[in-house]
Amino acid sequence: MAAASSSVVVVGAGHAGGQVAVSLREQGYRGSITVVGAEPVAPYQRPPLTKAYLAGKTDVEGLLMQKESYYEDNDIELVLDDPVAVIDRAARVVVLSSGRTLVFGDLVLATGATPRTLPGTLSLRTIADTDAVRARLDGPSRVVVIGAGFIGLEFAAVAREQGHDVTVVEALPRAMARAVTAFTSAHVVAEHEKTGVRVLLGTQVKAVRTGAVELADGTVLLADLVVAGIGVVPNAELAAGAGLTVGDGIVVDAHLRTDDPSIYAIGDCARFSSTRTGGRIRLESVQNATDQATCVAASIMGSAEPYTGLPWFWSEQHAVKLQIAGLVDGHDHTVVTGDPDGGRFSVFCFRGDRLLGVESVNKPADYMLARRLLSAGGTVSPAVVAAPGFDLRTYLQGGAAAA
Amino acid sequence: MAKITYIQTDGTSTIVDVKDGDSVMRGAKLNGVPGIVAECGGGASCGTCHVYVDKDNTRPLSTMHAVEDELLYCTASPRLDNSRLSCQIPVSDDVDGLVVHVPEKQI
């Protein structure tokens, strides 16, 4: 085992950055750990921002990943509200906006991503973003959401539950097109419509003006609040400035290393060589952030293994608890099980005979079992899934998973 | 506020003060109690905060809903009669002194 360096600097204090520090200490790292964040808050969970936090069901303390005293107790220095300005690879230091310099043995870039913005709209990425949106929802509002991805739709659901008038505008012909099958898209949109959310698919926004959104066909939607959920751009400028390879993210190998062997990139900002899909991919999810953080911590500790985590995702919208195991992108065939009309079903996604992933709506057990199956490299054939009465639990208990 | 005791498979126990309204899962996470993974953050969506409630428990616990019941059938450690998802047990004075056993594995 190679000797671990004596100091790790983590750039970014989100899910990925916070987890690197935690995993390093859990794995027995004894050197110094400094986590540098741009936001003024200790690492916190972002998913509840568009769910419980937006709805006022939890507060900032409820979002924090660790108890306040955790970092001091574990000798982890958190430097908040002071983003890194420059990485100086030759000198092995990072320079913060305040001018402070930090020497690193290993550097982990967990810089995250920044929402694409449209003038006249608000975004949802941080606590501060969410507070700004919440403040505008105090009275009855006409809300327009641009973008029917996870963030836009989760926000739309909460805003509607609070009684606001909500319209979602999506340029593509279906919702969450990047992430889920057409079947699930349609189901989720129908659930929104049932609650009174208007969802305009295949609809371009021409302009956002004060108090209104104008659509390409000339329709004007009056709006007290316009929220955009139109994707994010990975934060790769620091890496590019340091001469590291970037291209829709910071480019890393299967060990999550950049061109510089002592600099890693993880989470939303990292475009990594995937052992699962082949080629380089970039994922925006808690799973990806957490698992990559743990993988890099092990590398720093001297037991480097390629990153192999199985992607999984979830979303909550109205009565829909959507959970996805695996990457369903590229499927050519689906089999739906369960009770779609009753709002509880799973969509098994195949390429040829190979199971790529499973989407579950209000079927968490299917989701967990699918994760276990896919993580172990197992599969199940479309014909088996399509047989009447198929149940994943019964099937796996039959010991067929290894087939 | 309630004192909750988490006992590991090796017998190590941790006693933690958990705020009213927090769950038994969150009490463990905030205090670094090992073995409670809670991947989904507390939404009864993943089954990785599985615990065994102490057999001698007489404190009134929350009722188990269908989703929790379903998830308990696919936990990594076997489901027993006293299995619960700790994210689904809210803490109040009523459960002060509760003892839960952390299973061998969650994933």
- In this complex, do B47 and A316 lie within 8 Å of one another by their Cβ atoms? no
List of chain B residues whose C-beta atoms are within 8 Å of the C-beta of residue A70 = 32
In a domain, B107, yes or no: no
Contacts of A56 in chain B (CB under 8 A): none
Question: What per-residue confidence (pLDDT) applies to A294?
Answer: 96
In contact, A266 and A300? CB cutoff 8 Å:
no
Mean pLDDT of A165-177: 98
Cβ of A45 within 8 Å of Cβ of B70? The answer is no
Residues of chain A neighbouring B67 (CB-CB closer than 8 A): 362, 364
How many domains is chain B partitioned into structurally? 1
Instruction: Collect all residues of chain B within an 8 Å Cβ-Cβ radius of residue A363.
Output: 70
% residues pLDDT > 90 (chain A): 92
Residue A274 lies in a domain: yes
Which residue did the predictor score with more confidence, A107 or B76?
Answer: A107
- Buried b / exposed e across A378-394, counting CB within 10 Å, b at 16+? eebbbeebeeeebebee
- Give a yes or no: residue B106 inside a domain: no
pLDDT of residue A87: 98
- State the pLDDT confidence band at B41, using cuts at 50, 70 and 90: confident
Provide the pLDDT for residue B45.
83
Q: Would the CB atoms of B74 and A323 count as touching at under 8 Å?
A: no
pLDDT at A4 over 80: no
Assigned domain for B77 exists: yes
The answer to whether B35 contacts chain A (CB < 8 Å) is: no
Q: Please, what's the largest Cα pairwise distance for chain B?
A: 32
Number of domains, chain A: 3
Provide the ipTM. Answer: 0.83
CB contact set of A351 (below 8 Å; sequence gap of 6+): A330, A331, A332, A333
| Centroid of chain to Cα A256 | 17
> Chain B closest CA to A203's CA: distance in Å?
33
**Mean pLDDT value across residues A79-92:** 98
pLDDT digits (tens, 9 = 90+) for A216-258: 999 999 999 999 999 999 999 999 999 999 999 999 999 999 9
* CB within 8 Å: B71 and A365: yes
Residue A359 contacts B, CB cutoff 8 Å? no
| Averaged pLDDT for residues B2-25 | 96
Who among B45, B67, B74 is closest to A393 (CB)? Answer: B74
**Using the beta-carbon criterion (under 8 Å), do B32 and A365 form an inter-chain contact?**
no
Asked if residue A250 and residue A217 are part of one domain, the reply reads no
Instruction: Give chain A positions within 8 Å (CB) of B31.
Output: 67
Using pLDDT thresholds of 50, 70 and 90, give the confidence band for residue A399: low
Kindly state the average pLDDT of the residues A88-103.
98
The answer as to whether B51 is a domain residue is yes
Q: Do B41 and A47 touch (CB under 8 A)?
A: yes
Shared-domain flag, residues A283 and A374:
no
Instruction: For residues A362-370, give the mean pLDDT.
Output: 93
Domain hosting B62: range is 2-101
Closest by alpha carbon to A158, among A18, A10, A48? A48
Amino acid in position A394: T
pLDDT at A397: 84
Token pair 């615990």 is found at: B51
pLDDT the model gives residue A402 = 44
**Record: contact A368-B39, CB cut-off 8 A:** no
Confidence bin at A2 (pLDDT 50/70/90): low
Residue of B18, B22, B25, B30 to mutate, testing the A interface (most A Cβ within 10 Å of its Cβ): B30
Q: Are residues A123 and A190 in the same domain?
A: yes
B78 Cβ under 8 Å from any chain A Cβ = no
Average pLDDT over chain A, rounded to an integer: 95
For residue A308, tell me if it sits in a domain: no
Q: Per-residue pLDDT tens for B42-101? A: 888 889 999 999 999 999 999 999 889 989 988 999 999 999 999 999 999 999 999 999
Q: Which of A192, A211, A228 finishes a domain?
A: A228
- Is residue A401 over pLDDT 60? no
Write out the residue range of the structural domain in which residue A271 sits: 7-114+232-300
Tokens found for residue B16: 């933690």
Using the beta-carbon criterion (under 8 Å), do A365 and B41 form an inter-chain contact? no
Q: Is A323 on the interface with B (CB under 8 A)?
A: yes
Mean pLDDT for the stretch of residues A52-79: 92
Contact with chain B for residue A287, Cβ under 8 A = yes
Q: What is the CATH number of the domain that holds A215?
A: 3.50.50.60
- CATH code, domain carrying B46: 3.10.20.30
Instruction: Decide if A131 is inside a domain.
Output: yes
Q: Is residue A146 part of a domain?
A: yes
Q: How confident is the model at residue A403 (pLDDT cuts 50, 70, 90)?
A: very low
A102 lies in the same domain as A126: no
Query: Which of B30, B43, B74 is the closest to A368 by Cβ?
Result: B74
Same domain, A280 and A206: no
Closest-CA residue to A53 (of A305, A316, A235): A316
Note the pLDDT tens digit of each residue in A5-42. Answer: 899 999 999 999 999 999 999 999 999 999 999 999 99
**Residue A332, domain CATH:** 3.30.390.30
Cα–Cα distances in angstroms (integers) from residue A376 to residues A34, A327, A369, A392, in the given order:
35, 15, 11, 15
Q: Does A152 touch chain B (CB under 8 A)?
A: no
Nearest-5° angle of CA A184, CA A356, CA A286?
Answer: 75
| Region A327-350 average pLDDT | 96
Lowest model confidence (mean pLDDT) among A178-187, A245-254, B30-39: B30-39
CB atoms near residue A237 (< 10 Å): 13
Q: Pick from A366, A233, A370, A220: which is nearest to A310 by CA?
A: A370
Strands A84-88 and A76-79: unpaired
In this prediction, residue A3 carries a pLDDT of 64
Residue of A nearest to B29 (CA): A66
Question: Tokens for A380?
Answer: 């199940």
Q: Could you tell me what percentage of chain A is helix, strand and coil, using 3-state DSSP and rounding each to the nearest 5? A: 25, 30, 45
CA distance A175 to chain B (A): 22
| Section A139-149 average pLDDT | 96
Q: Using a CB-CB distance cutoff of 8 angstroms, which residues of chain B are in contact with residue A368?
A: 46-47, 71, 74
Record: contact B30-A67, CB cut-off 8 A: yes
Sequence-ordered alpha helix ranges (H) in A140-181: 150-161
